[in-house]
Structure 1
């Protein structure tokens, strides 16, 4: 068998790279990566760090959420006082600060948007995803005014859902950035939210970042199918599955139980 030339190898990997954002077929220069790949790695790492540490523009996002037609949004925080403390102390990000601004809504659904580990993702996609959810919900469910959380982790949503008195909670959160995607959102669905629930009681729709990831519409359609399923089943989490058309329509998206 003849040896594969560098040109043939480069052509092979180039054909695969058009189908993925993953860092594949990087090549080598002696025992190290080529200079171009080293510089691309450093650039991607810088984008990931910025996505985590850049403060969210709360005022701008609150204005955008107010325009979704779901009512006046409310801003609350976790017990993490700073971004640095949030990164170092995940436990504080799961606990709420004062929730005095929240009023019981007794609605079918609550929508919480959190900066999570990518404030960039929420700034870029948060309001648009909430609008897509509103369009998909239509008149099927009542929805509480959206809640914006800074320095928040997913489990903090349980406290907010209980305070609002909603039946099912959707938490939209900035996902942990990687070296190929720094602006991805996830939706975590929890039926009958209350403090102390395990992650296995949630479902997650991840990789929402059009045009390369799951689209807003596909994510919203999947989320509302899962809401319907949770109401029929009486619970969310590992027993709740989705096999709807969004899986085939957007294979880059992932739908799973959190845990």
Structure 2
């Protein structure tokens, strides 16, 4: 049976990514949707990108672009180092590319350039990295960076009265546009949870892999989920973004 599995932020944690995919027990007919931030944090960002390129040759994959991916893409294209990026995991990403040939870097740049800003499936489920602000949906978002930086969508969903029905006039128009919304970007460990959190019809599957948390993968039909070990366990001699 075909499964659609959403996978949260990875942040250079190749060991954790392989671990969680082994727990998923992938089948050829599975579809994987990654919600972004493949790089920056742990020491294997370049290796994560190479792994995903190879994985996409055998498994149907959709790759959403996150804010860290935008920074890494800009560096691969121009060689310019964004100071904010450098301090938030970029240094580790640059170091992970030591030993990679220019041809390999070029293929990785192509991979970043072809990531999607969002994905809407046949059942009107939206997948994106962060959020959106347009009352008319992601297609009408004026500023593309909102899609990979916005936190207001998640904050709004968290603070809503859970008794509100979707047909209520008080139910936010943004949330009414889609059957479900899957995001990353804002770690659930900041809300005292190391598992995916549902708030109204929004699912946050970033369970803090950049810091002390895990990588999570969720079957979006059954809501069953799998997780890696905490990243500091898998990279005991590193700090990730816990600086």
Q: Structure 2-normalised TM-score?
A: 0.24
Q: Structure 1-normalised TM-score?
A: 0.23
Greater C-alpha radius of gyration: 1
Greater relative CO (CA pairs within 8 A, separation 6+): 2
